[in-house]
Amino acid sequence: MVSLPGLIFPAMPDSLDIAVGIQQAVDRYKGDGDMAALQGSLAALPEAPPADYAAAVEPFRDMPEVAGPVYERIVAAEPDNARAIVILASAYWLSGRGPDVVGDLATRAIAADATNRGAWHLWALTEGNPRERTARWKQVSARFADDLLARANLADNAAALAGAEQDYEALDLAIDSYEELLELSDVPEQREALGKAIATLKAWKF
């Protein structure tokens, strides 16, 4: 506690203390693999501003079992923080929480910030129906014209849909999307792979 004459204030946790706490929890987890102990340690972290949590957990963003619980706190404190919602949704996706939960978070992030590409990617990715998923990637590609990853996902999903349902419209969409990627690529290996994909698709007969 921090005290002044006649007044007592609770000590605020230092952001460094939170970072140390997360690091120690991760180190123990890497040594013993005890998920329950990891979750308990993360749950026991002191209350702190969301920005302190975000900074402390940043080195462990690729560990969903660490990022998830910490970002749950951040999102609880900042329910309209689209970036935090997307990071939480990504952690859930990587940990196998399923498309329904992740899709709901993606939709929530889009409502908070319609310019967040990560939210739109998760929204498309979590659609289970192949035709609807292709339509979603088409919408994302149209919204973000310079998003090559979205265009690649559109091409891949359209090609898969064409093959599964013998759909010439989906086939044309896949070819067009791959050709657009080819025009934009200056990496020899990518251009070769795209060229082969286009030639293969153009040879398809249903």
Domain ranges, ordered by start, for the chain: 50-126, 129-206
* Domains 50-126 and 129-206 alike in fold: yes
Measured CA to CA, the distance from residue 92 to residue 105 in angstroms comes to 10
List residues bridging with 2 in a β-sheet: 9
When the candidates are 1.10.3470, 1.25.40, 1.20.1250, 1.10.287, the CATH number that belongs to 129-206 is: 1.25.40
Measured CA to CA, the distance from residue 106 to residue 17 in angstroms comes to 31
The per-residue pLDDT string of the chain (206 residues; one tens digit each, 9 = 90 and over) reads 333 344 433 444 556 689 999 999 999 999 999 999 999 999 999 999 999 999 999 999 999 999 999 999 999 999 999 999 999 999 999 999 999 999 999 999 999 999 999 999 999 999 999 999 999 999 999 999 999 999 999 999 999 999 999 999 999 999 999 999 999 999 999 999 999 999 999 999 98
When the candidates are 1.25.40.10, 3.40.50.720, 1.10.3720.10, 3.40.50.11290, the CATH number that belongs to 50-126 is: 1.25.40.10
Q: How many other C-beta atoms lie within 10 A of the C-beta of residue 55?
A: 15
Question: Is-contact 92 125, C-beta < 8 A?
Answer: no
Measured CA to CA, the distance from residue 171 to residue 87 in angstroms comes to 33
The tokens for 61 are 């963003």
